[in-house]
Amino acid sequence: MLAVSKLAMRNFTVFGSPVKLYTATSKAEAIEVITSQLSVPAQAGGSMMVAIIDVVMETDTAGLELCDYIRNDLANKWCQLYVRTGQPGVAPERAVIDRYEINGYFNKVEASEDKLYTMVKTAARMTTTFTVAQAGLKMLAAMVEYSASPDMAFNVLQQAFTAWDSQSPFGIRIGDRHFAFHMDGAALNEMIGRLDTLEGGGERPGHPMDGQGGKYIIEGNEVLVKVAESPTTAEAFWAHRLLGEPSETIIELMYQGLRGFAAVMKRAA
């Protein structure tokens, strides 16, 4: 079953990037894989987007215990968990979904390639959206709390993003202040300048976000979100080099988070 599933998912992509698969044949092995290879802190959603878990492994309930470990021991509420079983009597569907915060349940006979494709694609999109939304909410809460001090605000911003994927560098610039994660200030300014003046070649250059000058630009896997200077907001830029092309939902979340931050910085100026 494991070999067939890996074969079916070998060419899956999400946001234009290939899905990376990790496998385990027991609860103990799965925990080892999660802790040693998927070590992004769980409070940021973790680097594990979706888990497909058999109920029966080394024991009849090992899979359910693994679900409990992910949700409670790791405090990972964002990873999408799907339980599959060849013995539905061991783990009744409603009881499993209610107790273990499962996102889906299916029998092994239902595990077609199309079923797996739909499950992985939608789950990865959902996890990514949840993670961006969570980061945005933390950022806005921190900015409001420290709105009287721009310097402190940027320190809090740095803390809010420490758990983001190290392979996905990004930065935010507001006025003469900037924050860059896995890129330096010069690289951030170059990326902002290059994308902000882009006239063509991108899929949606200068796509408006609102009627106040806000926009986003996508060029390949790079995205620039801009909040325009206004009586209530400072000019702000969020430049992000993603692992794949972002969805419209993610861009909207980035814009709303940045706009809130720009409003706070305007008041604190």
**Residues 205 and 97 grouped into a single domain:** no
Q: Are residues 7 and 108 in the same domain?
A: yes
Q: pTM for this structure?
A: 0.65
The range of the structural domain enclosing residue 212 comes to: 146-268
Phi/psi of residue 23, nearest 5 degrees: -130, 155
Q: What is the mean pLDDT of residues 148-162?
A: 67
How high does pLDDT run on average in the chain?
79
What's the pLDDT at 187? 92
Sequence-distant (6+) residues with CB within 8 A of 100 are 64, 67, 68, 71, 81, 83
Distance between CA atoms of residues 247 and 234, nearest Å: 25
DSSP 92-137: -HHHHHHHHT-SEEEEGGG--HHHHHHHHHHHHHHHHHHHHHHHHH
More confident residue, 87 or 186: 186
In a domain, 16, yes or no: yes
Domain count for the chain:
2
Q: Are residues 17 and 80 in the same domain?
A: yes
**What percent of the chain is modeled with pLDDT above 90?**
15
**Is residue 69 included in any domain, yes or no?**
yes
Q: Which of 64, 66, 62 is nearest to 74 (CA)?
A: 66
pLDDT digits (tens, 9 = 90+) for 220-237: 778 899 999 999 999 999
132 within a domain of the structure (yes/no): no
The CATH number that applies at residue 19 is 3.40.50.2300
Contacts of 147 by beta carbon, 8 Å cutoff, 6+ apart: 153, 264, 267, 268
Separation of CA 124 from chain center = 8
Residue 43 has pLDDT above 50, yes or no: no
Say how many C-beta atoms besides its own lie within 10 A of residue 38's C-beta.
18
Distance (Å, rounded) from C-alpha 178 to C-alpha 182? Answer: 13
